[in-house]
Chains A and B, each alone.
Chain A
Amino acid sequence: MPAVIETIAASRCPRCNLVAAPPTAYCPNHPVAMTPTEVQGIGEVVSFTTLHSPPEGFRSPLHLAIVELEGGARFFCHGAGTRGLKIGAAVAIEAVDDVYYFSHLGAIDRARLFWRRAGHAGDRVNAITRSLAKRVWKGRTRAPR
C-alpha cells in the first residue's frame, strides 16, 4: 500500500452526479458544465483484463482495469499484474511518471487503511470488522465460475 493515498483531479455533473476522472468539461450524459472535484486513489475493481498483443509502445502482457474510486469515479488504469485479482477487490491507485497503476490491497493493508482513517477507537474496530466481513462475503459470492 502506498504511504500516501493519491489525490486525483475529477469533475462532477451537477445534474446526475456522475464523477469523471480525469475531469471533463461537460457531462457525457448532460449538456451541463462539470464542477471540479477530487477523488481518492483507492477503490474497488469493476473489471480487468490482460492484453497479450498490446498496441505499439506497450509491453506484453498489458494489465488494464476499470476501478471505481472512493468518491464515485470509474477510473481506467494499468496494473503490475492480475494474478489472484477479483472483481470487487480493493486496490490503491498510484501515479508513476504520469501513468496511473493499480495495486492489490491485502487484508492487512485494508485494516491499516481503515485504522488510519478511523476517528476514534470504536470506529476503528467497526471499520476493520466491516472490511473483513466484506472481504469474506465477496470471497464467497464472487468466486469465479
Chain B
Amino acid sequence: MSDVFVAGVGMTRVGRRSEPLRDLMAEAAHTALAEAGVETPDSIVVATMNPEEFVGDGNFASHVASHLGFAEVPAVRVETATSSGAAAVYAAFAQVAAGLARTVLVVGGEKMTHLATPRVSEIIGRSIDPYERRYGATMPSLAGLVTRALLTGHGVGPREMAQVAVKNHANGARNPYAHFRQAVTLEEVLDSRMVADPLRLLHCCPISDGAAAVVLVADRRAVRVAGIGQGADTLALRHRRELTSFRATRAAARAAFAMAGFGPERVDVAEIHDAFAPFELISLEDTGLLPPGKAGRATLDGDTALEGRLPVNPSGGLKARGHPLAATGVAQIVECVWQLTGRAASRQLGACRVALAHSIGGLATNNWVTLLEAA
C-alpha cells in the first residue's frame, strides 16, 4: 500500500444557498483542484446522501463529472447516509493506496434548505430502521433516547451537554465558512425549545447547504493520510446492548490507529460529528481521545476549547459550521488540513501535527475515523 497525501482542499460557505447543488460542488472542486495543481484528476468520487429526493437529480457521479468538464473521467458515487463524505474519502484513499489512480478528486455536497423542515427530516429519517420509523422515530428522537441514557451515570448532565454547543458556536463565530457565526450562552442553550426530551433545539445541528472537496495524490505533499477506518453497527437502535457508546466509532478508531501505527495521545486536534451535542461527548470517549466518563468534565473545564489541551471542532462542528450531510465528512478533512498547514486564520491553533476526523452515518450505523499527519 503506497502513501496517500492531500494535495488540495476547498469548500463553499455553508448555510442557506440559492445556487444549484452541482454549482456548489463545482465551486469546492475547482478550489481543491487549483490548490493541488491538478487540471484533470485520474478519477472522481462523489458523495451525496440523497440528491434524488433533495434536488430531483440522479446518476449523480456522472452529473457532477459532466458539469465539471470531466465527462471522460471515471466517476463513482458513494453513500453511507450522513457519513457519505468520509466514505468517499475512504474510497479515494483506497484507489490511490492501491495504485489504481495517482490523483483522485473527492467532492461531497448536499442542498436541502429549499425544502420544508418536516420534509427534510422525513428524507433524512429514511436512514432509520423501518420498524422504528413506523413508530415515528426520527433522527432527533433516536438521539433523544441515546441522550436520556447518557444522562444516567456517564458524567454528563445538562450543563456538560450545553457547553458543547456553546464552545462550537464560539468556534463557528471565527469561521467565515460557517452556517452560524454568532455565539450562544449556556443559558440560551438550556432554555431553548425542547425537541426530543432531553435534547433541545440548540443541541441540534442546522439544516444546511454546502459542498467540500479534497484532492488525494500519490506524490508527497504537506499532509499525509496516516490512517483511515470504518466501523459498523445494527440499523435498529433496539438491537444494540449499549446506547451510550457507539460500536461503529470504536471499531473505526481501532482500524485507523492500527493503520497509522500510533495512538490517540498523538492527536493534537479533532473534528467530531456533533449532529447532536451529546454525540461529541460520546465520540470523544469512543475514539479514545478521552477516557470513559471524562468528556463532560473536560468540556466544562475548557479542555476541548480552541485554547484547550485538545481543541475539538475548531471549525464550529456540525453544530455551527453546519451539516450539509455528504459535504460534512469532507469539510472535516478540509478543516484538519487547514489547521495542519497553518491556514485556519483567526481560529488557527498552535503547533499541530496530527488531526483526527470522525463521521457518523445514520444513527451510528456506519462511522469513520480518519487520521491526518503533517508530512
Contact = CB atoms under 8 A, between A and B. Distances in A.
B193 A52 contact: yes
B136 A47 contact: no
Contact of B196 (A52, A76, A78, A87): A52
Contacts of B138: 51, 54-55
Interface string B139-159: 011001111110111000100
B184 interface: no
Nearest to B236: A28
A27 to B, nearest CB: 9
A55 B197 contact: no
Contacts of B152: 87, 142, 144-145
Given A52-B195, A74-B238, A82-B197, A66 B145 contact: yes
Contacts of B137: 64, 76
Interface residues of A, number: 33
A18 B239 contact: yes
A50 B234 CA distance: 23
A46 B239 CA distance: 12
B182 interface: no
A48 interface: yes
A145 B157 contact: yes
A40 B267 CA distance: 48
User: Is chain B's binding surface mostly helix, strand, loop or mixed?
Assistant: mixed
A120 B141 CA distance: 44
B91 interface: no
B132 interface: yes
B101 interface: no
B256 to A, nearest CB: 22
Nearest to A19: B239
A62 B136 contact: yes
Interface stretch (B31-39, B118-126, B312-320): B118-126
Nearest to B132: A76
B236 to A, nearest CB: 7
A51 B131 CA distance: 17
B239 A22 contact: no
A53 B207 CA distance: 15
Interface in B220-259: 234-240, 243
A66 B197 contact: no
A54 B137 CA distance: 8
B234 A28 contact: yes
Contacts of A65: 145
A75 B238 contact: yes
A56 interface: yes
A20 interface: yes
A68 B100 CA distance: 49
A47 B146 contact: yes
5 contacts: A47-B148, A50-B194, A64-B137, A66-B238, A76-B137
Interface of A: 18, 20, 22, 28-29, 46-58, 62, 64-66, 74-78, 82, 87, 99, 142, 144-145
